[in-house]
Structure 1
Amino acid sequence: MFKRALPALTLCFLTLPALAQTAPVADAPTPAADTAPAAEAGEPLPQTVLVSGQRPGPGLWKVSKGEHVMWVFGAYDSLPKSIEWRSRDAERKIAQSQEYLGGPGMGVGVGWSAVTALPFMVGFKKNPDGVTLKDLLTPEMYARWEPLKQKYFAKDDDIERERPVFVAQELYRRAMAEAGLARGPEPREVLGKLAEKHNIKFTPTRVQVQVKEPVKTVREFKKAVMEDVPCLVATMNSLGTEVEAIRVRANAWAVGELDAIEKLNFDERETACTNAFLSSAITRLQPEILTAKQRSMDNWMAAAEKALENNTSTFTVLSMREVLSPQGALAKLKAKGYTVEKPN
Structure 2
Amino acid sequence: MRRALVTALLLSAALSGTAAAQSAPAQSAAGPATPPADIRDLDTLVVTGEQPGPGMWKIMRGGHVLWILGTLSPLPKDMTWLSRDVEATIAESQEVIAPPSVSFGTELGVLRTMMLIPTALKARKNPDGKTLDEVVPADLYARWSTLKARYIGRDGGVEKWRPIFAAQELYEAAIKQSGMSMKGVVQPVVEKTAKRHGVPITEARVTLKIDDPKATLKEFSASALDDRECFSKTLARIEGDLESMRARGNAWAVGDIATLRALPQGDQYRTCLEALAATGVAQRLNIGDLRQRVTAQWLQRAEAAIAKNNSTFATLPVADLLENGGLLDKLRAAGYTVEDP
C-alpha spacing 1:277/1:42, structure 2 compared with 1 (3 Å): farther
Alpha-carbon deviation of 1:147?
2.0
1:299-318 aligned at under 5 Å gives the runs 299-318=297-316
CA 1:195/1:209 → structure 2, altered by over 3 Å: closer, same or farther? same
Q: Report the counterpart of residue 339 of structure 2 in structure 1.
A: 341
CA distance in 1, matches of 2:118, 2:156: 24
**2:13 and 2:241 mapped to 1: Cα distance?**
31
Q: Which position in structure 2 is the counterpart of 1:217?
A: 216
1:190 equivalent in structure 2: 189
Which residue of structure 1 aligns with residue 251 of structure 2?
252
Contact persistence 2:16–2:114 (CA under 8 A): no
2:293: which partner in 1?
A: 295
Q: Residues 272 and 298 from structure 1, CA distance in 2 versus in 1: closer, same or farther, beyond 3 angstroms?
A: closer
Question: Contact (CA 8 Å) 1:102, 1:316: kept in 2 or not?
Answer: yes
Give the Cα–Cα distance (whole angstroms) in 1 for the partners of residues 139 and 14 of structure 2: 36
Shift of 1:281: 4.3
**Contact conserved, 1:104 with 1:296, CA < 8 A, in 2?**
yes
Provide Cα deviations, 1:252-307, integer angstroms capped at 9, x if missing partner: 000001111111232432233222222334303422x3344432322221221122
- Whether contact under 8 Å (1:217, 1:285) holds in the other structure is no
1:144–1:103 CA distance, 2 compared to 1 (3 A): closer
Residue identity over aligned pairs, in percent, reads 35
1:10 partnered with 2:10: no
Give the superposition deviation at 1:75.
1.0
Match of 2:270 in 1: 271
Q: Secondary structure of the equivalent of 2:53?
A: coil
Take 1:220 and 1:158, find their aligned partners in 2: how far apart are those partners? 22
Q: 1:66 to 1:101 in 2, by over 3 A?
A: same
Distance 1:7 1:165, change over 3 A: closer
Q: TM-score, normalised by structure 1?
A: 0.83
Q: Contact (CA 8 Å) 1:105, 1:297: kept in 2 or not?
A: no
2:112 paired with 1:106 = no
Q: How many residues align?
A: 313
Of the structure 1 ranges 117-126 and 241-250, higher mean CA displacement relative to structure 2 is found in 117-126
Distance, in Å, in 2 between the alignment partners of 1:299 and 1:174 is 33
CA-CA distance at 1:118 after TM superposition = 4.5
1:86 Cα deviation after fit: 2.2
Letter matched to residue 83 of structure 2: S
Aligned with 1:261: secondary structure?
A: helix
Looking at structure 2, the residues matched to 230 and 86 of structure 1 have their Cα atoms a distance apart, in angstroms, of 39
Q: Is the 8 A contact 1:109 1:210 kept in 2?
A: yes
Q: 1:342 to 1:122 in 2, by over 3 A?
A: closer
Answering whether residue 237 of structure 2 is matched by residue 241 of structure 1, we say no
Matched residues in 2 for 1:124 and 1:79: separation?
30
- Per the alignment, residue 46 of structure 1 pairs with 42
Which runs of 5 or more residues in structure 1 are unaligned? 1-5, 16-39
| Aligned position for 1:26 | none
CA distance in 2, matches of 1:260, 1:81: 20
C-alpha contact 2:97 2:202 (8 A) present in aligned 1: yes
Shift in Å at residue 319 of structure 1?
1.2
RMSD: 2.4
Question: Structure 1 pair 245/210, CA: closer, same or farther in 2 (3 Å)?
Answer: same
Give me the TM-score of the superposition, normalised by structure 2.
0.84
Distance 1:7-1:338 versus aligned 2 partners, 3 A rule: closer
User: Contact conserved, 1:41 with 1:144, CA < 8 A, in 2?
Assistant: no
Distance 1:328 1:41 in 2: 41
By how many angstroms is 1:42 displaced? 6.0
Contact 2:248 2:260 in 1 (8 A): yes
Q: Distance in 2 between matches of 1:291 and 1:216?
A: 23
CA offset digits 1:153-175 (Å, max 9, x no partner): 33312222211011100010011
1:240, CA displacement in angstroms?
Answer: 2.6
Cα distance in 2, alignment partners of residues 279 and 55 from structure 1: 42
More deviation in 319-328 or 170-179? 319-328
Q: 5 Å matches for 1:21-40?
A: none
Say if 1:200 and 1:129 are closer, same or farther in 2 by CA, change over 3 A: same
Stretch of structure 1 that moved more, 102-111 or 89-98: 102-111
Give the C-alpha shift of residue 8 in structure 1.
8.7
Aligned partner of 1:325 in structure 2 is 323
Q: Distance in 2 between matches of 1:229 and 1:7?
A: 21
Structure 1, residues 5-48: CA drift from partner, whole Å, max 9, x if none?
A: x9895258879xxxxxxxxxxxxxxxxxxxxxxxx996134131
Q: Which consecutive aligned stretches of 4+ in structure 1 deviate over 6 angstroms post-superposition?
A: 12-15
Q: CA deviation at 1:177?
A: 0.6
Question: Any conservation in 2 of the 1:152–1:171 contact (CA below 8 Å)?
Answer: yes
| 2:248 alignment partner AA | R
